Structure 1
Amino acid sequence: MNKMEIHEALMNYKWMINVLVTKRQEMTGASQAMVSKYGIEATLPSSDSTPSDPVYNEMLRIDRYDKNTKNLQRKVSFIQRHSAGITDIKDQIILDELLNGKTLRRISREHHLSVAAVKRRKDHIIEEMHLNAECEQYVQT
């Protein structure tokens, strides 16, 4: 992951975790109402270019959802794996606050820091995670 992807993953971590938890709890039930047409409408060709088979459409939706979920799992796993490399206590606290979904402004207010100081620490965290990932990749080759 590049630095921008790491930044995006940090800022969306709470949301991604919520999506993954929700996915585990749901995945039962249909996504859309499958209503049949009656009368003359039933005999007319559909203007839709997609197949009209509701089971097929549902399988496509589930497949797309699974691909997106796997991408989220990959990002969450990356953040969890590389957060252990953050050793500075202040950086660890700010990282935990970011992972809890707090904004930079709220973190700065609660910890009596300037927004710029929190942003610098966040950027340092991203840099450390990126370096850890590069080192991990280098070791694997």
Structure 2
Amino acid sequence: MATFKTFEEIHAWQKARELNMLVGNFIDSGRFKSNFRLINQIEGSAGSIMDNIAEGFERSGNKEFLQFLYIAKGSCGEFRSQLYRATDRNYIQKPEFDELFALSKEIINWLQKLIDYLQTSELKGTKYMTRKEDNK
């Protein structure tokens, strides 16, 4: 697995951004009517996925990064649960549910691959590099 220089290079973050854009389009189109609580929850959990990947990465240490990746994974599960609520209320239809659900599962798979890699990697993060290693 390649070393990332920015969180924007992380595939799970890119997919989470895509998920946010899709959900935002549904919300902005008025499909969620005025169910502001569900709007806040589904938008919050979707945003939390990408935000936690970014925050964990910027902490510059693998232990903290792992912690935030697990939080992002949990937010992805929360998001999927909210998808069921949105479908049950007919805010989104089955094909839209399927698309968002599949994308959220893809994000979880990418997160798990990154978690597995970091758990076995000897790299500790950039904040633990010596000046000599930093100049490579």
Normalised by the length of structure 1, the TM-score is 0.32
Greater helix fraction, Structure 1 or Structure 2: 2
| Larger-Rg structure | 1
Normalised by the length of structure 2, the TM-score is 0.33
Structure of higher RCO (CA pairs closer than 8 Å, 6+ residues apart)? 1
